[in-house]
Chain A
Amino acid sequence: MILTTNDVLNIISNISEVIETNRQYLTDLDAAIGDADHGINLDRGFKAVKEKMPQFLDKDIGAILKNVGMVLVSTVGGASGPLYGTFFMRMGNVVSGKNTLDENDIVAMFEAGLSGIKERGKAQAGDKTMIDAMEPALNELKSTLSEGRGLKEAIEAAANDAYNGVLMTKDIAAKKGRASYLGERSIGHQDPGATSAYLMIKTVADYVDKLQQ
């Protein structure tokens, strides 16, 4: 299975809608342990991405993703701007000049994006961040693909593991960001960054699922 430039544009547009729908939910999660702006900031960023999308239409997938990253960096305002911005820019670097993506491209993109986030945020799995959704998702994506079960099943499995990662963030204390000031008192609260990362992965899974029907 292969994703085209058009698929990538559709997925970005869908992510923008999902973030808008979950704006209040993400902000409420952030209000409990952070500064109550995660949903507002991300929605501002992805709205700006959507406004710029007409300029992306004639670009290759690498350029599109790099542009998405740049827009997020310039418009989000909170920590999720540099983090998701770096994620999209690093993904774009890996697929420069490409107009289609195969399974290997998708794994390579996700790997590059995640390592970008880890570098930028100096965080790792277990710190109660977006990484707690992304890393299990990437591992599951790779292992499902290596069993030859195809992209649709692999991304669906990845989204499930991302969700389990989100639930796991309730049981641990934050080591990064504003929530880390709360230390042990952040236990019991679900991490907003992990939640937004899951929502994005789930959006890709839902799109790929419909493609094959």
Chain B
Amino acid sequence: MVGIVIVSHSKKVADGLYELADQMTGGKIRIGRSGGTKDGRLGTNVDEIVEEIKKCESGDGVLILVDLGSSVMSAQMALEFLGEDYENKVKIADAPLVEGTIAASVEASIGSDILKVKAVAEAAKNLVKI
């Protein structure tokens, strides 16, 4: 199954969103998260993103969901550090973090492939709420 990695500037956002997504998918998929810097500030942490991707990769790929700014660049650097073995199997979604993560997690939990999971996450941009 496709794994999901949540990247936020805030540890609390990452932990809270993990909690939501994990509950909705009943623990069927691997969900990783990285929030905040090593020393507890708001920010992103490339090393931790690399580790979370490794933990969540079971052979079917990993989709990364990011919040803003440096989380995009940090996720891209993490992919570069992981190198060829992970190329084409790990993707970054151009999606809203909360809605995209929930949609992608549910899609991954029904066994869809990485491209389908990514498309579903990105479609969350157009979600009409009211």
Contacts and interface: CB of A to CB of B under 8 A. Distances in A.
A76 B43 contact: yes
A132 to B, nearest CB: 18
A86 B37 CA distance: 18
Contacts of A120: 73, 76-77
B74 A82 contact: yes
B77 A82 contact: yes
Contacts of B36: 77
A141 B50 CA distance: 37
A183 interface: no
A126 interface: no
Contacts, number: 59
A177 B73 CA distance: 11
A78 B45 contact: no
Given A74-B38, A75-B38, A77-B37, A41 B43 contact: yes
Contact of A75 (B37, B42, B68): B37
Interface majority SS (helix, strand, loop, mixed), chain A? helix
A41 B39 CA distance: 11
Contacts of B44: 77-78, 81
A74 B39 contact: no
A178 interface: yes
A74 B44 CA distance: 9
Q: Which 5 A-B pairs have the closest CB atoms?
A: A77-B43, A82-B73, A77-B37, A79-B70, A73-B46
9 contacts: A75-B38, A75-B39, A79-B69, A79-B70, A80-B70, A81-B44, A82-B76, A85-B77, A86-B77
